[in-house]
Amino acid sequence: MLTGKRVLLIIGGGIAAYKSLDLIRKLRGQAASVRCILTAGGRQFVTPLSAASLSGDKVYTELFDLTDEAEMGHIQLSRDADLLVVAPATADLMAKMAHGLADDLATTALLATDKPVLIAPAMNVRMWQHAATRRNLATLRGDGVMVIGPNEGDMACGEYGPGRMAEPEEILAAITAALAPTARPLSGLRALVTSGPTHEPIDPVRYIANRSSGKQGHAIAAALAMLGAETVLVSGPVHEATPPGVAIRKVETACEMLEACKGAGRFDIAVCAAAVADWRVESQSGRKIKKRHDGGAPKLVLTENPDILLSLSQNNASRPRLVIGFAAETNDVITHAREKRTRKGCDWIVANDVSPETGIMGGDFNTVHLLTGEGLENWPPMSKTDVAARLAQRIAEHFAVG
């Protein structure tokens, strides 16, 4: 998608710099050419040699380097690209950019460029939330700088919150959107995604849950939003950050999840990736159930939860044009998936084997089979983000044809 596009990647000094190496690989995988500038801080985290090996090009580090200036002056370097990407964009780099400082090669190139600039901020939560950074961000946005992330999550410094650099796939998608704006084939469509587990309370302190992490569902919401769909993500309790550009509805139970889906309006696409608990406790106790001293255990009476996928697939005027379910199985994956597609009335099923030995539940990788009305596709093992990107692409192709 990025054939012939030239990206000047400025790697700032943050722990997230290692992710920028993966970004180089991904950009080159899309046939873009990448040239890197490493700041002095960036060189504390990744070496010029790693960036040069991955980019297949010279890496620039110094402003006053006679050899570099003879080969390509810093002004030309800043303009000989279609897009400048700063990843990670530290608080210091953002501040310098906002104020037009140019005291090293990176900031000079950013000031001298006549090309669009995308930044992927990464810093400590407090630094991100500081009034100075807020002001600098507003200035940069006002100057037309594009911003991807940061995401919310655990930070290398041990704190939690917004400040983690966006993932390489997200930065790649933002670069693609900036350089190839036509690559938003789902614009104008609305998508609903369910994700994560549900928690079904037993009493005020206990609940029934499952091992779903929400990684796959959240990645699908991100991928659909990247392709331009107006995306609503209805999520059970997870530790995943809300993907950029996605509207979130946080719920706990299956009943709340159904209500949130119904209340979110009409959709063209629905992807049910949530691991919804099949049952809830029939009558949950308003008080903590106390341990019995005669050694006996309480008996929980369960009742069935509403089936969200089944309900969304129902053939009525508000049915999304494409309804996709998941079939997480531990045996006879394809047989169960076929049966589930018929029983639930959805259009496609993404089936996967979630036996403990696969490591899929909670892990970053997935091996899926896509069952559509036309047949079965066996996809090779890949990361959950790649599964999401491929599924979003398949959905886009479906709407392009349909």
Scanning 63-71, 233-241, 268-276, 355-363 for contacts with ligand CTP by CB under 6 A, the matching segment is 268-276
CB 307, min distance to ligand CTP, A: 4
305 binds ligand CTP (CB under 6 A): yes
* Backbone CA torsion sign across 313, 318, 324, 325: negative
Of 274, 360, 395, 396, the one binding ligand CTP by CB under 6 A: 274
- How far apart, in whole angstroms, are the C-alpha atoms of residue 349 and residue 269? 13
Whether 272 is a known active-site residue: answer no
Cα-based distances in Å from 368 to 53, 350, 382: 33, 6, 9
328 binds ligand CTP (CB under 6 A): yes
CB 230, min distance to ligand CTP, A: 21
Select 57 or 307, whichever has its Cβ closest to ligand CTP.
307
Closest CA to 226 of 6, 391, 380: 391
- How far apart, in whole angstroms, are the C-alpha atoms of residue 259 and residue 265? 11
Select 8 or 261, whichever has its Cβ closest to ligand CTP.
261
Q: If you ran DSSP here, which 8-state letter would residue 43 be given? A: G
Maximum Cα–Cα distance across the chain: 87
Residue type, 30: Q
Of 21, 24, 233, 309, the one binding ligand CTP by CB under 6 A: 309
Of 22, 82, 278, 377, the one binding ligand CTP by CB under 6 A: 278
327 binds ligand CTP (CB under 6 A): yes
CB burial string 325-344: b at 16+ within 10 A, e below: bbbbbeeebbebbbebbeeb
Scanning 117-125, 170-178, 306-314, 387-395 for contacts with ligand CTP by CB under 6 A, the matching segment is 306-314
Scanning 21-29, 151-159, 324-332, 368-376 for contacts with ligand CTP by CB under 6 A, the matching segment is 324-332
CB 90, min distance to ligand CTP, A: 40
Interaxial angle between packed helices 17-29 and 48-55, expressed in degrees from 0 to 180 and rounded to the nearest 10? 10
307 binds ligand CTP (CB under 6 A): yes
Select 7 or 308, whichever has its Cβ closest to ligand CTP.
308
Select 7 or 273, whichever has its Cβ closest to ligand CTP.
273
Closest CA to 243 of 191, 312, 200: 191
Closest CA to 24 of 60, 57, 55, 58: 55
267 binds ligand CTP (CB under 6 A): no
List residues with catalytic annotation: 157
Site residues (vs ligand CTP, CB under 6 A): 194, 254, 272, 274, 276, 278, 305, 307-309, 325-328, 340
